[in-house]
Amino acid sequence: MKKTGQPTINDVARLSGVSKKTVSRVINQSPLLNQETREKVQAVIAELGYIPNPQARALALRRNFLIALIHDNPNAQMVLRVQQGLLEVLRDTEFELLVHPVDRGAPDMRDEIRRFLERQRPYGVMLLPPISENDALAALCEQIGCRYVRMGSAAFDDPAHMVSSNDREAVRGAIEHLLAAGHRRICMIAGPHGFRSAFERQQGYEEAMEAAGLGVQRTWIAQGDYRFESGMRAAERLLDLSPRPTAIFSSNDEMAAGALHIARQRGLDVPEDLSIVGFDDTSIASHLWPPLTTVRWPIATMARAAALKLIGEEEDDDAEPAEPTMFVSTLIRRASVGKPQP
């Protein structure tokens, strides 16, 4: 009259004729264990389909096996790729993924996150851009005592807590690609003020233009907010310039799509009359007509690296100073770049 629910550790102990202590040793991979005993216990575990209760374990161990993904990201593609990357690593472990989207803009966002962290006390926290740029949040994790990793477009922090892509360099590469095709009047649609990624990408553009001896014209840079509509408005401004630009680099694909939209509205052929380069390589890039030349950053790879950092060895704190984890982005050449008209 007892065996209604799940098997417990006591059942395993009884059936395998050892103490629950020993079962616990098997589960936790204790090294001082007779091989025979281990196998015997494991056989019983398998037979019973015993699975240790994670809550009880968490309580006793005073730690849990939860990784929290905190983000406020408008880009669904990116969030999902991150989730998949994380879970690729977590799948083989006993960790689980807790997602917690937040609302940047909400005035109580920080308190909301604090409540979440204090309640769940996840073992690790993954912060996605753009809120990963918020130093206060990182400090919060530190203070609560969770490991955390920030994903970003540059290493703006102790590298131990970062996985980053080198956006600046990637943009330089993209601009150089345009330059090599013969473009000179290259404009940029920049991202919103206050975003590190926007800043880095703009820096990359400016560096490349300076390096080519073209200088930076303020009027050649129009600002958007990473959304499609803002890309349209920015493109309208840039295409009103005279002489018209022959190429536009956009800080992300959505805005590039907006620019493409406007170009088409004005009867401009892409890439015949105007070349466009985006950034992110979300699915929209390959689905547009023409398919968009863009910069792909290895999101899933970065997420995997982040997961490993989060669940990795109980850092001896002062062990290696943790090599900076910087990932390289690659230019994906599709059909939206051509030679400028003479």
Partner DNA sequence: TCGGTAACGGAAACCGGTGTCACGTACAAG
Partner DNA sequence: CTTGTACGTGACACCGGTTTCCGTTACCGA
Residues near DNA (CB under 7 A):
5-6, 8-10, 17-25, 27-28, 32-34, 36-38, 50-53, 56-57, 59-62
Site residues for a second copy, 86-125, by CB under 8 A, read: 87, 94, 96-101, 115, 118-121
Q: Can residue 152 be called a binding residue for a second copy (CB under 8 A)?
A: no
| Binding partner at 25 among DNA, a second copy, none, C-beta below 5 to 8 Å by kind | DNA
Q: Can residue 257 be called a binding residue for a second copy (CB under 8 A)?
A: yes
| Binding partner at 141 among a second copy, DNA, none, C-beta below 5 to 8 Å by kind | none
- Distance between CA atoms of residues 78 and 217, nearest Å: 32
- Distance between CA atoms of residues 58 and 193, nearest Å: 42
**Helix, strand, or coil (residue 1):** coil
Q: Rounded to the nearest whole angstrom, what is the least distance from the CB of residue 62 to DNA in the complex? A: 6
Residue among 12, 21, 17 nearest 47 (CA) = 12
- Tell me how far apart the terminal alpha carbons of the chain are, to the nearest angstrom: 89
What is the 3 state secondary structure string of 21-83?
HHHHHHHCCCCCCCHHHHHHHHHHHHHHCCCCCHHHHHHHHCCCCEEEEEECCCCHHHHHHHH
Q: Pick from 6, 30, 93, 330: which binds a second copy (CB under 8 A)?
A: 6
| Binding partner at 84 among DNA, a second copy, none, C-beta below 5 to 8 Å by kind | a second copy
Residue 36: half-sphere exposure toward Cβ, Cα within 13 Å: 2
Q: Which stretch binds a second copy (CB under 8 A): 16-24, 47-55, 147-155, 204-212?
A: 47-55
Q: Which is nearer to a second copy, 52 or 182 (CB)?
A: 52
Other Cβ atoms within 10 Å of 61 Cβ, number: 10
Q: Which residues form the interface with a second copy (CB under 8 A)?
A: 6, 49, 51, 53-56, 58-59, 64, 76-77, 79-81, 83-84, 87, 94, 96-101, 115, 118-121, 228, 254, 257-258, 260-261, 264-265, 283-284, 286-289
